[in-house]
Structure 1
């Protein structure tokens, strides 16, 4: 059973429901003789009639296109193989550069307090100028333009300029090492690299130029390398003969009307990457129309973005949440960008942005909320959070204790929406819902217009029982495929091997009695002692409630023809693991989870390995404790941490 309370933590008011975009959509449908009473009927109708749902969503959201085409979907039941809007032609960038010219499009603040603001008119002008430079550089539809950039306005400008021409965009954040970048960009053979000369993190300025030089030397397909100054204080310097500074690259051009290149709905837009912890990163290709339509759906219905709302998400441009939040421009929202450490100079940095910029929607990671909870910060007392309507959390399951922290220490009248999906679909399978209550420890709802279910091991649908998160029918933001995987062999193996014809996402999940969802961890890291399937998040939510524990990672160890659970914990500063704490941890796990969840060993470690996007990597630890090679350490932000798990005496008995 999941940890639920008898009453919700938040419920929408009647006014909230009436003014929601979902209610407006129900009214829009009624004008087309589709009469639905409430969101429950809407969700059921959308699941049963996805063609009509996505067709009416297109009109409701005023998507700009050259043509929508007559056919909504071809081979809907075929996975993979379905084609949504097979004859539609549109441009992604055009749909983001809309709205009142004088309203703010982007507000940026860097860790060093560098700031910048762009109106929609200024954004369009800068995109126009860069697009002209790209075009003169020979950029054609389908060319790959890549970025090695911090989360600054120029990154958004470059993406929009690239996609306005029909080019394919892909990006990595500047904390990636040279080999990590090459492992990704090297596979897709880019023609242009956009790179920033420096970035800030945790109070330090990092010079990216040596890494840029290393990257450029190994990407032989590059025609141009455009160097972006981080701010006005940055000094231009020579990096290599192949590099040109941003201002010089665009200096001969002036703003003019953008000639958008219309692309087929199913043409490539973005190339994203798997974490790469089990081998070379997979290059996941997402479509122009599928990405746009899915993001608009989530922004309008699940996030409830309104005109001129200000939305913030703490992310780097190496994580899909960057792509997701930038798409909010299509809803006439202002996007707030921040680059740097979320904890510098203190734990209040990101919370202070809400007051400073009147943020309506604040997005972050579950780990950030957990860290703030452990720190004891009370934003409710320190900052004016009157504007704040919604808090979003993703990256890992949001623990019940973190729900408590938000409602006691941040704001009582706020919708806390844990959301879950992934790079694989560049969107969500489970998300927030503004017309539904928030229950402790739960994601509010599955995504509208998607046939999301949980399967047991026999492939049977279950509720109130843990199993595999699956999607039974196609949806617009399914990947086109993997790059350089012409026969779709790797693509099919990744998502359709376990249950043929059904998308298996790899999340160990449960649909609750409230019709919400709980994610217990990744299926490939499921612990299976004595044949009982246990999600790692079930253990984390107990362990990380201890103030003495900063973070934990849990893996299975092969032992005596079975497996046993090993729990590694990183202690808070000044704290040490002792027998008393070990007993307390085991008792809490036993009481709140089950006796089978109790680890055989609890071991203190100095650090926990994580991917560059910030996720702990259980697979790498599991391989290390079994003396098996970790295939791609370049995918880790801190590969040196694996040394703490090698040849441990405690694991020999």
Structure 2
């Protein structure tokens, strides 16, 4: 990677950042002399009890912290953070009750709604009263199959205000995909919609919802939001319209205090290798981690408008919603980001004054391929930061952002996952941005990279790990009574250390480079290659829209097979194969060059948009894909099955 910074924060920006203010507070209260972020990071992991206690105080968490910060800190799993603490998650997100705008919704069909913090508090009070009237209590589950709209956030806040547990997915999930998730956690109430919009279509989900209600016997009430104005709507004895479910006369919220480690969210693994794991996240850990990431790492406050392109089935929705806790305005969007045109989200950014724009690496790559240049067509005067996650952001996309979107902004590639409902590596408003690198490791998290023998390495590729316990570790896996699935997921590889499953490198700038998932790493001739190293080269080729690479067992070794999806009307021929191979060889190494390059019409993805190398590898090897319901386009697997060229 080049050592030249693509962006530097100004002296004023550094001086005014909340990160700087927090650093100064640490110096004052802890009698230390930390000079920069890297000093602060090192202090935070060496003094993690003091750090997390100070995060609670700095953000003025509503609740009782208790006198004990952590017990069994060195045990993973087993550490218990803030074991005496009492708090309510929703109360902290609803601390503001004024006329400042809390939520703005924009739909691909042109719809726009907004709510102030005062109105949001009232709506939550009304819906929480409805939940109570239908018998929902602390510990019960409320599930939502919803678009990313205002009612979804109201439902979550109402649920968590009474101590119940929230779980959500998007309405594009198939019936089996929903049953695989919500069927495990037995919700008492289901919140859904009559239909939703995507890519110019108005899609009715009445029959899907009816099938789900029939199969999940625990559902006692179903609440339907009239989202897409369907004439043919679900009806039944225990089916309620959104407007009829709550109690509009109720204006006060009775927040139920919860223990720090009581369940808040149940989230789900992708499920591409079997029935999804139900990951339970705790009330206090989620709040503290999100306050840290929003307030310090993203520098959010009441003047900000935070946008993230996400669905309710992706952890970034849960992350986005926590922006309310720092008083920021949230802009929500549901639909296709390219409908009605590729520039649409940038229209929204200008019209709503978005200051922090969050999206996926794939979206930025698609914009560049479509030759979209917001810098030329939009003002983006208030935009100061772009966040991106979901897959590796290649160095070329860094170039695209600074060349074609905006020169003066902080581009923060962030990485973590559903497992921690947050990030291990992310942005920092007082650090420069280097091409292809995540700016820093998250405060309080002893993130490192290990070689195969469990030894720390720097400047080399290895396994991303976290060496200390932290408050937002999952409480448990739902239904994993003996804890074996939880242990095996993160702690079986390295003793007392969280192994995250990413193939990564720590850089000379104390930044992080992610090369892809460890389980998708290619190993031709015994040399480990991250798939992202190949993708970033292949997608430089103009004819290639996207690609996926796997390792195929072949003649007692492994060979790299690359599948490419090409622009419409283009066929893969020997000349284009040579161009792809030369591009990879010139910019990587000869070992990165695939042994076989094949064309496919589509590439399979999860519903949250991530390509699935493991599923493709299974198909190529004639092995079953255990759960195709986790895929948005399972039919795409057929393009990889029984290929004559791979025999």
Question: Is the deviation greater in 33-42 or in 578-587?
Answer: 33-42
Comparing 492-501 and 452-461, the one that deviates more: 492-501
| Residue aligning to 2:9 | 12
Aligned to 2:474: 479
> Residues of 1 paired with 2:515 and 2:124: CA distance?
42
Distance in 2 separating the partners of 1:310 and 1:474: 32
Q: What is the alpha-carbon distance in structure 2 between the residues aligned to residue 584 and residue 140 of structure 1?
A: 62
Q: Secondary structure in 2 aligned to 1:596?
A: helix
In the TM superposition, 1:42-57 aligns within 5 A as 42-57=40-55
Q: Deviations over 1:449-508 (max 9, x none)?
A: 100000000100000000000000101100011001011100011111111211000000
Give the match's secondary structure for 1:222: coil
CA contact (8 A) 2:398 2:411 kept: yes
Task: Say whether 1:539 aligns with 2:534.
Answer: yes
Give the 5 Å matches for 1:322-471: 322-471=317-466
Residues 229, 236 of structure 1: 8 Å contact kept = no
Q: What is the alpha-carbon distance in structure 2 between the residues aligned to residue 524 and residue 69 of structure 1? A: 41
1:176 aligns to 2:173 (yes or no): yes
CA contact (8 A) 1:213 1:240 kept: no
Of 632, 640, 644, 1:637 maps to 632
* Cα contact 1:108–1:336 (8 A) shared by 2: yes
- Give the SS at the match of 2:548: strand
2:210/2:234 contact within 8 Å kept? no
TM-score, normalized by length of structure 2? Answer: 0.99
Deviation at 1:239, TM superposition (A): 3.3
2:553 and 2:334 map into 1 onto residues whose CA distance is 42
Deviation of 1:205 after TM superposition, in Å, equals 0.5
Equivalent in the alignment of 2:241: 245
TM-score by length of 1: 0.98
SS at match of 1:280: coil
User: What's 1:109 paired with?
Assistant: 106
Partner residue of 1:498?
493
**1-side partners of 2:503 and 2:129: how far apart?**
47
SS for the counterpart of 1:508 is: strand
Instruction: Provide the secondary structure at the position in 2 that maps to 1:32.
Output: helix
CA contact (8 A) 1:272 1:283 kept: yes
Q: Which runs of 5+ in 2 are unaligned?
A: none
Residue 231 (structure 2) pairs with residue 229 (structure 1): no
Q: Which of these residues, 602, 606, 609, is aligned with residue 611 of structure 1? A: 606
Alignment of 1:133-172 (within 5 A): 133-172=130-169
Number of aligned residues: 646
Match of 1:81 in 2: 78
Q: Aligned match of 2:553 in 558, 573, 598?
A: 558
Match of 1:529 among 520, 524, 529: 524
Q: In structure 2, how many angstroms separate the alpha carbons of the residues matched to 1:622 and 1:42?
A: 43
Which secondary structure does the structure 2 equivalent of 1:9 belong to?
strand
Moved more, 26-35 or 11-20: 26-35
Whole-Å Cα distance in 2 between the matches of residues 421 and 540 of structure 1?
A: 20
Match status 1:194 vs 2:191: yes
Q: Distance in 1 between matches of 2:423 and 2:298?
A: 12
SS of 1:369's equivalent?
helix
Pick one of 245, 254, 261 that aligns with 1:259. Answer: 254
For the residue of structure 1 that corresponds to 2:156, the secondary structure is: helix
**Aligned counterparts of 2:30 and 2:338: Cα–Cα separation in 1:** 52
Verify the 8 A CA contact 1:90 1:289 in the aligned structure 2: yes
**C-alpha distance in 2, partners of 1:416/1:217?**
46
Once residues 553 and 231 of structure 2 are traced to their aligned partners in structure 1, the CA distance between those partners, rounded to angstroms, is 55
Q: Is the 8 A contact 2:194 2:234 kept in 1?
A: no
Partner of 2:20 in structure 1? 23
Q: 1:98 aligns with which of 95, 108, 132?
A: 95
SS at match of 1:212: helix
Unaligned runs of at least 5 residues, structure 1 = none
